[in-house]
Amino acid sequence: MKTTVKDASELRLLGGTERRRSDRVDLVVRVDYKTVDELFSEFARNINEGGLFIETETPPAIGSEVALQFSIPGSDQPLQVIGRVVRASPGDRGEPPGMGIEFENLDNQSQDLIDELVRNLRVVRAPSDEPDADASV
């Protein structure tokens, strides 16, 4: 089931509770994106299987379609996808100002690359499940 822009807007109104289907992982990459009438180059700060967060002081309106181009580790070619602005953040609660973008047209190869990248980043950054043998109780 895909979350629509209307659904995403309604979820933000429900007490600000986090409703992502997947946790984000930190990843800083340059993202070139364009709206109907403007071209921008900013940095994505994190990503998950369904979208990314782009740091910007001037996000397009929620619901705006954006054409994205960005490179990820493990890919020789930049990914080119269409996304939709589903969240805008003024930069409070320790988060930089920016916008949450939901991917809309990922081809299977791009989706596989992103899925693999996110899985690998989660494994690398996951805390160890094994207790420290030298830790005192």
Q: The domain spanning residue 111 has which CATH number?
A: 2.40.10.220
* For range 63-71, the mean pLDDT: 95
Give kind and range of the element (H or E) at residue 91: none
Are 49 and 27 in contact by the 8 Å Cβ rule? The answer is no
Range of the domain at 22: 5-123
Question: Residue 104: what are its φ and ψ, rounded to 5°?
Answer: -120, -30
pTM flag (> 0.85): no
Question: What DSSP character marks residue 27?
Answer: E
pLDDT of residue 8: 38
Q: Does a structural domain hold residue 136?
A: no
Q: CA dist 35 to 11, 68, 114, Å?
A: 24, 9, 23
Q: Does a structural domain hold residue 72?
A: yes
Give kind and range of the element (H or E) at residue 84: strand 79-89
In this prediction, what percent of the chain has a pLDDT beyond 70?
A: 73
Question: Residue 8: what are its φ and ψ, rounded to 5°?
Answer: -65, -40
Q: Does a structural domain hold residue 112?
A: yes
User: What is the token pair recorded at 11?
Assistant: 């979820």
According to DSSP, the residues that pair with 99 across neighbouring strands are 54, 88
Number of domains in the chain: 1
Q: Does a structural domain hold residue 130?
A: no
pLDDT of residue 105: 85
